[in-house]
Structure 1
Amino acid sequence: MLSFNSVNFDNFIPNWRTHMEIINFNVLVLIVQGKALYTVNGKQIVAESGDVLFIPQTTKRAGENYEARPHQKYTVLFNHDQEDNEEISFLRRNQFFKLKTRHFEYVKHRCERLYAELRGNKEHRSYICKGILQELIGMLAREKDHPTVTPMKLRYAQIMKQYLLDNYRETIEIEQLAKLIHRSPNYTISVFKEVTGKAPIQYIHQLRIIEACNLLLHSDMTIAAIANYLGYYDASYFSRMFKRLTTKSPKAFMMDGHMTEIGTLFS
């Protein structure tokens, strides 16, 4: 049975450092932005955006900002028992690993939901959080046990995803992405979809609608203004796209939506 110690969100902490110690719990780390430097049983590990680390209990570990530059990450501290060992190979082996997750946005949203649920005193939160943690561990175990994507393809996809994150409000042609990785447009689309499960245009719409959700809940912008801000110059098209991805109209989401829903909307 999985049991929580804590879930932490390190949001660009200056001079972040955790001292060398032998830990008596497991740690899952998701690097959201920037880089972190870990020392694991005497070996230095640099983790960057999109990396997930599993640091098992009894490990001697320390951590700090990489090159003194702050980073953003989630850390989940938990324990497990023999029953979990039988189901999950990396728990049974009790070995450190690092992988570049193919489902970064979804894993990030699940960590966000986990962190939000553990703040305050919400009803049934322990039951919900255990389910989220089990899902995360199951997903990572599947990725680790069945690595179907080469490291180079993962790197290509990460380059493109970062470009889209930086420019999703703009009109982006597939030729622009192809130039980033020096490959043909067809190959570019194929690699992106293989790694993320989505075509680049679908990913752009997802980024835009996630931001739209945030603006609908936390700004006084009109729906038409949000549509224009996000690059949808036809407000009715924006509304159709919003409803296709969230199952709600922008107006309905503005009235009764919650940002904690976003992780499930874009699975």
Structure 2
Amino acid sequence: MFQLMSVNFDDNIPNWRTQLETIAYNVLVVVKSGKVRYEINEEEVIAEQEDVLFIPQSTRRSGGNWNDTEHQKFTVLFTLDHPESTGIPFLDERRFMRMNLSHIQYAYRRCERLYEEMRGGKSYRTLICQGIMQELIGMLARELDKTEVAPNKRYYADTIKSYLLEHYREPVEIESLSRLVQRSPGYTAALFKEVYGLSPIRYMHQLRVQEACRLLLHSDMSIAHIAQYLGYYDTSYFYRMFKKQTGLSPSSYIHQMDLSDESILFT
């Protein structure tokens, strides 16, 4: 069904951009951090952390860093053997799509594995890559089959998510988030979980632990310093939250995590 052309991981590339052109292939974009700006058929699209985009063949598209900031994203370029009928609505309709996945961390891991397999030369690489790609497309199709969230709920949840992405290192309480959307604390927590599959506070801790993993591997900050930097002024509480999210203590994570396999997180 799928003919994979390339799988790329754009890792905070300064001055990243792609020229305006009518593409002869499909593109699946999974944004891991930051924001990226696209022009899709003369309309501006700003994709941010956890967004998934499907850009169909024959789209007039360009892209670049948003406001000169860097980002991380996976991009999968592919064509279809039988584009006239796949049985998957968004592929058959060849329509641009932007969405969130309930299991985005799992999607990151699958993209990481796909990226590694495409770069390697191990036996059965093509078969494995086909399987991963079919799984990713299946996840998107299943998500789209779910009952549509009411537009006002989506707006409130997206407002809260954007706030948390910007302020996750600061003290956050459900009461302050409810004031942000002018709804009750109980309603605010319930609608966010309905849209994103977890509570706002758990999402905040997930963002903090994701950043902690990056800092543990790519900085010389001490564990205590990282905890304080991320808003955990009780280091023992940071340890508990880190282990709850990853299954490892911070020190065990440093010793056991291979730099090439960061994707083993949040199982």
TM-score (norm 2): 0.80
Residues 198-219 of structure 1 show CA distances to partners (whole Å, capped at 9, x for unaligned) of 1111111111111121122222
What is the deviation of 1:30? 3.9
Q: Aligned partners of 1:172 and 1:194: how far apart in 2? A: 20
Q: Secondary structure at the match of 2:172?
A: coil
Q: Which deviates further from its counterpart, 201-210 or 112-121?
A: 112-121
Deviation at 1:172, TM superposition (A): 0.7
2:16 and 2:65 in contact (8 A); partners too? no
Residue aligned with 1:78, SS: strand
Give the gaps of 5 or more residues in structure 1. Answer: none
Match of 1:61 in 2: 60
> Shift in Å at residue 230 of structure 1?
1.9
Superposed CA RMSD: 3.3
Q: Please state how far the C-alpha of 1:137 moved relative to its aligned partner.
A: 0.9
* 1:122-181 deviation per Cα after TM superposition (whole angstroms, max 9, x unaligned): 646555543432222112112223343123322222221221122212211112211222
3-state SS in 2 of match to 1:149: coil
Deviations 1:2-26 (A, max 9, x none): 2310123455664834343351x22
What TM-score do you get using the length of structure 1 for normalisation? 0.80
The CA deviation string for residues 4-54 of structure 1, in whole angstroms up to 9 with x for no partner, is 10123455664834343351x222234551431111xxxx33322255432
Q: Counterpart of 2:44 in 1: which secondary structure? A: strand
Identity %: 44
For structure 2, the residue ranges without an aligned partner over 5 or more in a row are none
Aligned to 1:47: 45
Find the counterpart in structure 2 of residue 97 from structure 1.
96
Q: Which runs of structure 2 are paired with 1:208-219 in the superposition (5 Å)? A: 208-219=208-219
CA distance in 1, matches of 2:18, 2:223: 43
Q: Distance in 2 between matches of 1:205 and 1:67?
A: 26
Report 1:45-194 matches (<5 A). 45-50=43-48, 51-57=51-57, 59-65=58-64, 72=71, 73-82=73-82, 85-91=85-91, 93-103=92-102, 105-106=104-105, 109-110=108-109, 113=112, 116-117=115-116, 120-121=119-120, 123=122, 126-194=126-194
- Structure 1 residues 129 and 181: CA distance shift in structure 2, 3 A: farther
Letter aligned with residue 234 of structure 2: D
Q: Does 1:199 align with 2:199?
A: yes
